[in-house]
């Protein structure tokens, strides 16, 4: 059965990440913006209900496709990411509906605040997925395995359509309350699904930071400027 986790993690709205999503690159932040970020972070941290589910499968990698459990995925980019992995984890996580409610609320009365909530929500889900990933990493290390960078449907040639299969395999709707729109977008919007390869080679593992903040500049899996 998939392993599903409720909110026992300390999901944080990382200020630096929020500023990055807002497009700040070292510029001065005025006190009004500073206050909005603090308020949005406090509201989201209090109102969100992060949940996740993940499960490990066998993994076979071919040149332009991979097989994870029974799921066959045609994607050269994912195959490259999982090269050498004989196991892979499917993961789904969400911070819940609070961010979407707040975005809707501020969209009619305060567009600046709405933008800040969008960015803060994106920082929250990233920080939460990092925490879940750390737990997966800890368990994998006991078996001498290390994590490859997570890779989500919609990246490169990994088609968004595979969300349906991941949802089914992890029972996402039932376990953590995420649904898919017709276009395979997730609701609540601050949700993530991902594949994480497990490798026995530590030198091929991911430092589990945002790539743009990671010091591993020679990493072959580096992705610049990814957003949630």
CB of 81 to ligand SF4, least distance (A): 9
Name the residue nearer to ligand SF4 (CB basis): 160 or 219: 219
Name the residue nearer to ligand SF4 (CB basis): 164 or 222: 222
Binding site for ligand SF4 (CB under 6 A): 149, 206-207, 209, 211, 214, 216, 219, 221-222
Is residue 54 classed as helix, strand or coil in its secondary structure?
strand
* One-letter-per-residue 3-state SS of 56-110: EEEEEECCCEEEECCEEEECHHHHHHHCCCCEEEEEEEECCCHHHHHHHHHHCCC
Residues contacting residue 185 through CB under 8 Å, at least 6 positions apart: 160
CB of 200 to ligand SF4, least distance (A): 17
Pairing between strand 146-147 and 87-94?
Answer: unpaired
Is residue 227 classed as helix, strand or coil in its secondary structure?
coil
CB of 36 to ligand SF4, least distance (A): 29
Name the residue nearer to ligand SF4 (CB basis): 102 or 136: 136
CA angle 161, 164, 168 (to 5 degrees): 160
Name the residue nearer to ligand SF4 (CB basis): 187 or 214: 214
CB of 40 to ligand SF4, least distance (A): 26
CB of 155 to ligand SF4, least distance (A): 12
Name the residue nearer to ligand SF4 (CB basis): 34 or 202: 202
């Amino acid at each position: 059965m998939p392993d599903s986790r409720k909110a026992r993690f300390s999901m944080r709205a990382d200020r630096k990440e929020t500023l990055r999503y807002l497009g700040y690159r070292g510029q001065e932040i005025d006190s009004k913006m500073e206050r909005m970020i603090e308020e949005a972070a406090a509201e989201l941290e209090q109102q969100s209900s992060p949940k996740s589910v993940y499960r490990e499968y066998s993994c076979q990698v071919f040149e332009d496709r991979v097989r994870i459990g029974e799921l066959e995925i045609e994607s050269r980019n994912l195959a490259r990411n999982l090269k050498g992995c004989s196991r892979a984890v499917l993961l789904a996580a969400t911070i819940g509906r609070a961010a979407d409610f707040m975005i809707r609320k501020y969209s009619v009365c305060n567009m600046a605040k709405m933008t800040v909530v969008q960015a803060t929500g994106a920082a929250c889900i990233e920080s939460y997925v990092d925490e879940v990933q750390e737990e997966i990493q800890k368990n994998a290390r006991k078996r001498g395995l290390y994590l490859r960078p997570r890779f989500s449907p919609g990246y490169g040639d990994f088609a968004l359509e595979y969300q349906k299969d991941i949802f089914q395999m992890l029972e996402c709707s039932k376990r953590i309350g995420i649904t898919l729109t017709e276009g395979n977008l997730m609701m609540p919007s601050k949700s993530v699904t991902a594949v994480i390869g497990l490798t026995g080679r530590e030198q091929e593992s991911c430092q589990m930071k945002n790539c743009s903040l990671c010091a591993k500049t020679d990493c072959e899996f580096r992705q610049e400027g990814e957003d949630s």
